[in-house]
């Protein structure tokens, strides 16, 4: 096992535990993956709580769906593999059952441009992928469509997916999407919000191309 893969395994464990600390996942809910190189990925195993994970539990898979290791991969390995295989801009995928995202997903409610920060997910809204049974190719296909031109989406009656160039970026986006979902749910309790116009969201998306540049280069 190369040092790069050893470090990546520890990073996956740290990421899984951080999702729990942040309240985005509980117990064995959710999963995450990272791209290792051009044809392999590491993914969390099926049915093991984050706090119990060991480096050897993290599953190495290739983009043909073959895996090796002591444990079986997450039941959601299919959409992790398909996203990483089809999106060279994505280096990590996070799937959570974050509470407010899941509330909206169970209502099949996308997150509209009620706030300019919706653009952080790559577009003028955050879509809901149609429902399909967990772990199926159909769910993966639905998620890929919902992620076209986007960095995150909700999964109907399920949860959410966030992507990033690396694992910290994907986790950061998951946190931001859950915050937006919480705000939107609370707003809906008071009424229907006015939405930002498409041309304004286009301006925000353009500005987001350099958003945080100082922090990244510091």
Please write the tens of the pLDDT for every residue from 17-45. Answer: 999 999 999 988 999 999 998 889 999 99
The verdict on pTM exceeding 0.85 is yes
CATH of 3-210, one of 3.90.1170.50, 1.10.15.40, 3.40.225.10, 3.90.850.10: 3.40.225.10
Asked about 148 being catalytic, the answer comes back as no
Average pLDDT over residues 47-58: 93
Please write the tens of the pLDDT for every residue from 96-110. Answer: 999 999 999 999 999
Average pLDDT over residues 190-195: 96
State the pLDDT at residue 210. Answer: 85
Residue of 76, 178, 179, 198 with catalytic role:
76
Domain parsing of the chain, residue ranges: 3-210
Closest by Cα among 92, 91, 94, 80 to 175: 94
């Amino acid at each position: 096992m190369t040092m790069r893969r050893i470090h990546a395994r520890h990073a996956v464990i740290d990421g899984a535990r951080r999702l729990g600390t942040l309240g985005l996942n509980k117990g064995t809910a959710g999963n995450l993956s990272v791209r290792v190189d051009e044809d392999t990925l590491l993914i969390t195993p099926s049915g093991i709580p984050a706090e119990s994970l060991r480096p050897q539990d993290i599953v190495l898979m290739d983009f043909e769906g073959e895996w090796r290791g002591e444990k079986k991969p997450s039941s959601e390995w299919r959409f992790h593999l398909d996203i990483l295989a089809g999106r060279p801009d994505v280096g990590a995928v996070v799937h959570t059952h974050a509470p407010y995202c899941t509330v909206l997903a169970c209502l099949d409610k996308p997150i509209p441009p009620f706030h300019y920060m919706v653009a952080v997910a790559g577009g003028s809204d955050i879509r809901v992928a149609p429902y399909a049974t967990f772990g199926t190719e159909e769910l993966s296909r639905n998620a890929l469509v919902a992620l076209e031109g986007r960095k995150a989406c909700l999964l109907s009656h399920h949860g959410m997916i966030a992507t990033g160039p690396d694992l910290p970026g994907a986790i950061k986006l998951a946190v931001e999407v859950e915050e937006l979902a919480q705000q939107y749910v609370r707003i809906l309790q008071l009424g229907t919000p006015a939405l930002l116009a498409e041309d304004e969201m286009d301006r925000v998306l353009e500005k987001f191309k350099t958003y945080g540049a100082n922090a990244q280069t510091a």
